[in-house]
A and B are shown apart, each in its own frame.
Chain A
Amino acid sequence: MSTNQLFYTLQIADNALILGHRISEWCGHGPILEQDIAITNTSLDHLGQARSLYQHAADLFNALSSAEKTNCFASAALQAKISKGENLTEDDLAYLRDGWDFRNVLLVEQPNKDWAYTIARSFFYDAYNFCFYTELQKSKDSALAAIAEKSLKEVTYHLRWSSEWVIRLGDGTDESHARIQEAINSYWAFTGELFEMSVVDKAAGEVDVNALKPVWLQRVTTVLDEATITVPKDAWMHSGGKDGRHTEHLGYILAEMQFMQRAYPNMEW
């Protein structure tokens, strides 16, 4: 057993948790009640996927040798648990790691801003996630394959929902067209990282994300065309999230999300 499979699982789990967290910020504040309910449902799906993945990651972690365990995570709270020989849980992994041990792509931590930015972010990610989970179903790790198979049903719906919104906004009013075009242009720079093979991707030998790009681009282009939105030209792409180098946004997400576990450590809730 090595740490590769653990980090690989965390990379997927962190994407699900952070995007689910961002989307959950809409709950109670949506533009119309039906969509408030729909977007909260999506958030619940991401959170459910994150939980399955963190539970699997915890199992992988707990099976490591004690030397390997010590080198996995930097936070003092986790180091204290590890040095006491405690097993880690899904909550330890979500609530006690610091930002540099989070491996999510930068796209998912970007702020909601407005409905257009939220939709653009989800659309790019859903289209990727659909391609990704389709391939992950073939994983040699049977737990990951099972999670992928179950999640793919949800992701298929997410992609339909966000695609429909891109089209609706793009082909709606002048204002909505301008807003969604701006959001697509702005978050485009975060899509390159989705297809970069990180050190962990290479070592895990699971999905070749680089190979997903043409399929992704074709899907995205089809929807953007129907939405009368111009596909952004290839330009500078941000990256670093998969290696733990994040934007400033992640720190604030974690400060909020982890507050209870930090202020009241080692308690059952």
Chain B
Amino acid sequence: MEHLELFFKSIFIDNMVFATFLGMCSYLAVSKKVTTAVGLGAAVIFVLAVTVPLNWLLDQYILQPGALVWLGPEYAEYDLSFLSFILFIATIATMVQLVEIIVEKFSPSLYNSLGIFLPLIAVNCAILGGSLFMQSREIATLGLALNYGIGSGIGWFLAILAIAAIREKIRYSNIPAPLRGLGITFIVTGLMAIGFMSFGGMLTGGDEEAEEAPNTQVVKVIKTEDAKAIKMKKKELANNTKEIQE
């Protein structure tokens, strides 16, 4: 249950692009065509799935205050957390190089389709962001870290896929000249982010119920009202995006 919740949360509620704006640069630069967007998205899922658990291990056994205690009791007071940026980014850069070499050796066709994107990924903020948020949200086990990596990768993939599809269509519409290209992409992303906000209320409900057991009825009423509001929002959003597309 914990796993399922984290997975869902990292895809929809804490979506990398729409909730925390990570990886916006490549999101905007590589979303002109659906095929390239799929390539980059797949590469991001893969790299996140590798680097988040690796950095979790680093964080647990080297960086956290007192993490070096496995070396011996005299190391218990060391706090190396100020080194986390440099260690995380070094892991990511080397992992990306490694992945590039392995993919080139075993699957040249995949390498050709991902080729240019792999080096780009090392400087994609989504990757480092995944590790930094993993650290600041204090994810508890290695399995959860892997789960979080894959989940946020899929969230990023969904986002770039959606915007690439919209941009392919939007090319045929009559947009005010100064808004063409970058401007309209920003505004569409903003509207999509508002849409994704409607996922926000979904998982918090469980905690409230547990805490306020006597008032369950009230909570339920509020919940249905929330759900109605969310549905309304979604409808509005769908209309808005349609209008823009037209």
A and B bind: no
A interface, CB within 8 angstroms of B: none
